[in-house]
């Protein structure tokens, strides 16, 4: 259980800046904390449109044909070609507790999924429109990119009762560039609370080293290399509760986690990860694209 919530700590939270451009104060907080909460960045109506589109896409899914499970704890995606080839597709991943002993879904399809990934922003017009607003382009433009490109999109469902826990990790472990350039943009599409498994961050810990690297070894197998084995500090994480429409920006080195969702409320979120095209993108990263779908920025 992820119970390390220091609720009395300050969290860097602001109303979304008009036009999206981050202020000097926001940028200073982002540098200090490694994450930044921007309330009402998108409208509730925009959140509802994305949720409706995710529901439509899920309706077309035949769970008998697709049985891929994504579990951050059990690492079920290792060696799963359905996962590893999803960098330029729209694919569906179930929660590890989605199926009963007879192989039937315990809950509705939409309440059985862990996530949808990883190229909706380039393949689906509704996701594209949500992902490429002038406001988000201005926010990204405030950060230190030469040529920002959107590497991946994920629709994360954290469904009621079976939503899986995610242990503390850094996203640059999985979306590594040289130099590191990954920043996550996490949109709450529904209210995210401690009860339904909101994001938690260890403030300032992004200034420490990258602890692990996920890469393809010489045999073509995805594996992990430990770069720093110091454990994460106990009790240091703070909850980033977020109302629907909130954007949470976090550094690729910012350690974060989320608890399981044992509540009756789903916790849908949408994330984009942006890297700099000027950085080297290793051939050993899990996420690769075919030549038919080149990476794009916010144009
Ligand atoms: Fe993450």
Instruction: Give the model confidence (pLDDT) of 250-277 as tens digits.
Output: 999 999 999 999 999 999 999 999 999 9
Q: What pLDDT does residue 227 have?
A: 98
The domain 15-276: what is its CATH number? 2.60.120.620
The phi-psi region of residue 247 (left if phi > 0; otherwise alpha if psi is between -120 and 50; otherwise beta) is beta
Q: How many angstroms separate the alpha carbon of residue 96 from the centre of ligand 1?
A: 18
Task: Give every CB contact of residue 185 below 8 A, 6+ residues apart in sequence.
Answer: 136, 139, 140, 247, 248, 249, 271, 272, 273, 274
Least confident range of 64-73, 124-133, 182-191:
64-73
Distances (CA, A) of 294 to 137, 220, 297: 19, 23, 10
pLDDT score of 80: 82
- Residue 285 pLDDT: 97
Q: How far apart are CA 231 and CA 103, in angstroms?
A: 37
Is the pLDDT score of 6 beyond 80? no
- The domain spans of the chain are 15-276
| For residues 36-53, average pLDDT | 98
Residue 248 Cα to ligand 1 midpoint, Å, equals: 12
Q: If 0-12 CB within 10 Å is exposed, 13-18 middle and 19+ buried, where does residue 275 land?
A: buried
Q: What is the pTM of this model?
A: 0.94
Q: What is the pLDDT of residue 72?
A: 72
pLDDT at residue 78 in the model: 66
Per-residue confidence (pLDDT) for residue 86, from 0 to 100: 94
pLDDT category of residue 62 using cuts at 50, 70 and 90:
confident
Report, as an integer, the average pLDDT of 225-231.
97
Distance between Cα 256 and ligand 1 center (Å): 6
More confident residue, 299 or 69: 299
Residue 103 scores a pLDDT above 90: no
DSSP reduced 3-state for 122: helix
Please give the distance, rounded to the nearest whole angstrom, from the Cα atom of residue 184 to the centre of ligand 1. Answer: 8
166 CA → ligand 1 middle, Å: 8
Region 16-40: what's the mean pLDDT? 98
If pLDDT is split at 50, 70 and 90, which confidence band does 180 have? Answer: very high
Q: How far is CA 44 from CA 41, 190, 282, in A?
A: 10, 9, 37
pLDDT band at 69 (very low <50, low <70, confident <90, very high): confident
Query: How many A from CA of 102 to the centre of ligand 1?
Result: 32
Please tell me which residue, 70 or 268, carries the higher pLDDT value.
268
Place of tokens 């799963």: 80
Q: From ligand 1's centre to the CA of 247, what distance in Å?
A: 15
Residue 129 CA to ligand 1 centre (angstroms): 23
Supply the mean pLDDT for the chain: 94
Which of 115, 121, 116 has its CA nearest to residue 137? 121
pLDDT bracket for residue 66 (50, 70, 90) = confident
CA dist list (Å): 70 to 159, 167, 174, 180, 254: 13, 13, 15, 25, 22
Q: 234 or 270, which is more confident? A: 270
Q: Taking residues 127-140, what's their average pLDDT?
A: 98
Residue with tokens 């200090």: 32
| Residue that is written with structure tokens 């038919």 in the block | 292
Q: What is the mean pLDDT of residues 10-39?
A: 97
Q: Is the pLDDT of residue 136 over 50?
A: yes
DSSP H/E element including 248: strand 247-251
Question: Is the pLDDT at 124 greater than 80, yes or no?
Answer: yes
Tell me which residues have their CB within 5 A of the ion that is ligand 1. Answer: 171
């Amino acid at each position: 259980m992820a119970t390390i919530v220091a609720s009395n700590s300050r969290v860097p939270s602001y109303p979304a800046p008009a036009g999206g451009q981050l202020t000097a104060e926001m940028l200073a907080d982002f540098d200090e904390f490694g994450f930044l909460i921007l309330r009402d960045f998108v409208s509730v109506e925009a959140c509802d449109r994305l949720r409706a589109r995710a529901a439509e896409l899920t309706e077309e899914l035949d769970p008998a044909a697709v049985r891929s499970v994504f579990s951050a704890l059990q690492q079920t995606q290792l060696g799963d070609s359905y996962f590893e080839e999803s960098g330029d597709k729209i694919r569906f991943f179930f929660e590890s507790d989605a199926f009963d002993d007879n192989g039937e879904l315990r809950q509705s399809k939409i309440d059985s999924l862990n996530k949808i990934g990883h190229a909706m922003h380039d393949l689906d017009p509704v996701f594209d429109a949500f992902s490429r607003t002038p406001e988000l382009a201005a926010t990204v433009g405030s950060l230190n990119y030469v040529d920002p490109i959107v590497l991946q999109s994920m629709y994360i469902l954290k469904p009621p009762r079976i939503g899986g826990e995610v242990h503390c990790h850094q996203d640059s472990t999985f979306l590594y560039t040289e130099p590191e350039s990954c920043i996550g943009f996490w949109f709450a599409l529904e209210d995210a609370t401690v009860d339904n498994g909101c994001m938690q961050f260890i403030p300032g810990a992004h200034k420490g080293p990258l602890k692990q690297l996920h890469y393809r070894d010489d045999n073509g197998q995805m594996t992990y290399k430990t770069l720093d084995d110091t454990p994460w500090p106990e009790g240091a994480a703070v909850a980033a509760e977020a109302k629907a429409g909130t954007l949470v920006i976090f550094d690729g080195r910012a350690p974060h986690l989320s608890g399981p969702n044992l509540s009756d409320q789903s916790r849908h979120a949408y994330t984009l990860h942006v890297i700099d095209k000027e950085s080297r993108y290793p051939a050993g990263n899990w996420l690769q694209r075919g030549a038919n779908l080149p990476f794009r920025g916010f144009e």
